[in-house]
Amino acid sequence: MIKLLGFVLLVLALAWGFAWLADRPGDITILWQNQQIELSVMVAVTLIVALFAVIMFIWWLIRTIWTSPRSINRYFRARKRDRGYQALSTGLIAASAGDAATARKMNARAKSLLSADQEPLIHLLEAQASLIEGRHDEARRKFEQMAEDPETRELGLRGLYLEAKRLGADEAASQYAERAVEKAPHLPWAAEASLETKTRLGLFEEALKLLEQYRLSGALGKDEANRKKAVLLTAKAAASLDANPKSAADDAQHAIRLEPSLVPAAVVAARALYRDGNLRKGSAILERIWKTVPHPDIAASYIHAQGGLTSDERLRRAIKLEATHPEAYEALYAVASAALDMRDFRIAREKAEAAAKRDMREGVFLLLADIEEEQTGDQARVRHWMAMARRAPQDPAWIADGIVSRTWLPLSPVTGRIDAFEWKKLEHQAGAAIEHETLTVEDAFLSLPPVHEPQPTAGAQNVHVFTEPAAQPAMSAPPAPRETVAKDAAKPVTGRSPARPARQAHEAAPDEDERKSWAAVEPFFGRPPDDPGVKSVPSSADETKTRLKLF
């Protein structure tokens, strides 16, 4: 475009010049070797311009003839190069498609048409063909040659890195990534691999510096960079929590500012502040995060806070959390668990049942089983809650690449990926029997067995009654009828032994002879220790003799 514009301007200038000369006519007289030549100005100028044109044409002709051998050579070389690049392109496409034979054929043709020193892609094609054919040793040698060339260093290092990862040589792969990131920190694969290695080794300061270089290179977005930095700061704070709580608190709070929804950062910050003696600030951080993300880890850290809190104090802190999210499952579960620790079974059962109706999970049914065990000891009801727990979905957990962890970790133990753990529910395997899909509120609560209250014993003192073997069979006392349990339980009994649980309805009732033998036993209501008592006289000779013995 610029050349065309210049040509137009030159033509316009010449036209303007000739027009200017035409408006100003004149003659030019030349005396040369006693000859006088008279010309008009216009003719003279035209001859001069024509002379320059002839000279330029002659120069171009001479130059073309002089350089024609080189031009001819360049033409054939360019044609050969084009054929070589065509073969190289076809070979790379074949290698990507997995066609080893075509890739090898095109590689040979490209090497014959192109110089391998001038075109490094020939090495790449040869290495790819070797990988497709399964000749990994030959491919590694090619990648090593490429790694020594500054022009193909990153390409060779990436090939060596992938080969090391394939063989499971993580240490070698880390070294290749380190070499690549030194020269090109903007390479995503090298930066990510180096970050994972430094994080796994606990070199958090170096990882943070590398992350900053990676961000400044423009290859990493701002939001993603802030997220990764928050994860690294949280991991660093957790590692230094015992040795330096103050530094850990600063790092964790910085992570919260970068990523307010990162629950592990809030937990670590609160624990660090608790260890530093700052209960108020640590609780304030957890309360602020709890308002947006109700999470069991936050509830556990907030309720237990500093060590040494009584069960009553823990319950009050749990109720304070519940006031923020009264309908949240996590809040109801936390209050129920704290109430169970305090042995306030009414609150524990009420909140646990509300949590189960809110979201039927395995954990809340196990908690109801614990409450039943502690409060009533009714094994039928305990087994019912255990069966509901088996049918209910499992509680959410920290999951990454199929690995379930009790605590959050900064990277996956399988792939080494940073920020891989997510708080979510477990996914059941395909084809497995999923019983919890049919679990309803009616199954959980309406099918709950009735309460079997324990029956009080008849005696008020620890008295052992011995009878003759023929007259008194050795058998445990029968349970009281169901309608009399509540009435007998209301009577005060002094010094009775622990009540036994009632028998199940399906057990056989005692026969008439057993009931008579039980009725024949008279309880001893506690005479003075030095009074042996009055020996009873049988009313008939064949009546069974009995004797009492004090303990």
CB 235 within 8 A of CB 228: no
DSSP assignment letter at 243: T
**Alpha-carbon distance 191 to 119, whole Å?**
27
Residues 6+ apart with CB under 8 A from 32: none
pLDDT tens for the 551 residues of the chain, in order: 788 888 888 888 888 887 887 777 788 888 877 888 888 878 888 888 889 889 999 999 998 888 888 888 888 888 888 888 888 889 888 888 888 888 888 888 888 888 766 778 888 888 888 888 888 998 999 899 889 888 889 989 999 999 998 888 888 998 999 999 888 888 889 999 999 999 999 999 999 999 998 888 888 888 999 999 999 999 999 999 999 999 999 999 999 999 999 999 999 999 999 998 899 999 999 999 999 999 999 999 999 987 778 999 999 999 999 999 998 999 999 999 999 999 999 999 999 999 999 988 999 999 999 999 999 999 999 999 999 999 999 999 999 998 999 899 999 988 889 999 999 987 654 334 444 456 777 777 887 888 765 554 444 344 333 333 333 333 333 333 333 333 333 333 333 333 333 333 333 333 444 333 333 434 433 444 444 444 444 444 444 344 434 33
Confidence (pLDDT) at 3 = 84
Handedness of CA 71, 77, 82, 85 (dihedral sign): negative
Here the tokens at position 41 are 């100005």
Cα 365 from Cα 255, distance rounded (Å) = 36
Give the residue carrying structure tokens 């959050």.
408
Judge if pTM exceeds 0.75. Answer: no
Phi then psi dihedrals of residue 29, to 5 deg: -110, 130
Q: Is 437 exposed, middle or buried (0-12, 13-18, 19+ CB in 10 A)?
A: exposed
pLDDT of residue 490: 35
- Tell me the one-letter amino acid at 513: D
Residue partners of 407: CB distance under 8 A and separation at least 6: 398
Phi, psi of 432, rounded to the nearest 5 degrees: -80, 155
Q: Note whether 110 and 125 are within 8 A (CB).
A: yes
What does the pLDDT read at residue 68? Answer: 84
44's CB contacts (< 8 A; 6+ apart) are 28
CA distances from 79 to 69, 73, 75, 118 (A): 16, 10, 6, 16
**Three-class DSSP category at 400:** strand
Residues with Cβ within 8 Å of residue 230, at least 6 apart in sequence: 254, 255, 256, 258, 259, 262, 265
Task: Identify the pLDDT of residue 438.
Answer: 65
Count, residues in the chain: 551
- Give residue 399's region: left, alpha or beta (phi > 0; psi -120 to 50): beta
Helix or strand holding residue 403 (H, E) = strand 403-405
Region class of 202: left (phi > 0), else alpha (psi between -120 and 50), else beta = left
Chain-centre distance of CA 106, in angstroms? 45
Tell me what pLDDT residue 428 has: 54
How many angstroms separate the CA atoms of 387 and 328, rounded?
Answer: 24
Could you write out the three-class secondary structure of 5-58?
HHHHHHHHHHHHHHHHHHCCCCEEEEECCCCEEEEEHHHHHHHHHHHHHHHHHH
3-class SS at 305? coil
* pLDDT attached to residue 501: 35
How open is the CA angle 78-98-161, to the nearest 5 degrees? Answer: 90
Helix (H) / strand (E) element for 465: namely strand 464-467
Strand 27-31 to strand 422-424: parallel, antiparallel, or no bridges (unpaired)? unpaired
Q: Which residue has the tokens 């802030």?
A: 226
Cα separation values, 81 from 85, 119, 120, Å: 6, 10, 14
Q: How far apart are CA 419 and CA 408, in angstroms?
A: 10
Q: On the CB side of 173, how many CA atoms lie within 13 Å of its CA?
A: 21
Beta bridge partners of 455: 500
Burial class (CB in 10 A: 0-12, 13-18, 19+), 518: middle
Quote the CA–CA distance of 438 and 433 in Å, as a whole number.
11
Q: Which two tokens stand for residue 39?
A: 């010309």
pLDDT attached to residue 437: 54
Is residue 147 within 8 A of residue 160, CB to CB? The reply is yes
Closest Cα partner for 227 from 423, 425, 420, 424?
A: 420
| Residue 531 vs residues 93, 332, 523, 535, 548: alpha-carbon distances, Å | 111, 59, 16, 11, 12
Under 8 Å between Cβ of 332 and 355: yes
Q: Are 256 and 239 in contact (CB under 8 A)?
A: no
d(CA 194, CA 212): 13
